[in-house]
Amino acid sequence: MNSCTFTGRLGRDAETRTVNDTTVTSFSLASDVGYGDKKTTIWLDCSIWGNRGVTLEPALVKGAEITVIGELSEREYTNKDEELKKALSLRVSNNSYPSVRSSEQAGTPPAAAAKKAVIDDDIPF
């Protein structure tokens, strides 16, 4: 078994589904490698099996930063242009709690978050 640690931001909101009576929560993670003009991004397909994923799903929103630890594997697939591609998958065994930038509220864009904070003086209470 291998054990890899990645820190990055979610590329989409997590989705939970049931596979053979077991729940699995899936999300994509963008992790930066290198720095300066040599900086690249690695995309991982992450999965959390069981109830922990269901519990974390509301916090696993696009843009949230998370550190994940798990078993890394590579899978092959054929894209819509009939080209053979490879993708990295991580079966998460441990993680940090996702953090969202202060200007974001659970995936809400900054402008929408500011609108939520507006107080309406016409409310009588």
107 in Cβ contact with 100 (< 8 Å):
yes
Q: What is the pTM of this model?
A: 0.73
Rounded Cα distance, 64 and 105, in Å:
10
Mean pLDDT over all residues of the chain? 82
Rounded Cα distance, 78 and 71, in Å:
23
Question: What is the amino acid identity at position 16?
Answer: T
Position 61 scores a pLDDT of: 93
CA proximity to 26, closest of 41, 44, 7: 44
CA proximity to 71, closest of 88, 85, 56, 86: 88
Position 118 scores a pLDDT of: 45
- DSSP notation for 40-95: EEEEEEEEEESHHHHHHGGG--TT-EEEEEEEEEEEEEE-TTS-EEEEEEEEEEEE
pLDDT digits over 31-57, tens only? 999 989 999 999 999 999 999 999 999
Position 6 scores a pLDDT of: 93
pLDDT digits over 65-120, tens only? 999 999 999 989 898 999 998 999 999 998 888 786 554 554 444 444 444 444 44
Position 122 scores a pLDDT of: 53
Question: What is the amino acid identity at position 86?
Answer: K
Position 114 scores a pLDDT of: 40
Position 123 scores a pLDDT of: 53
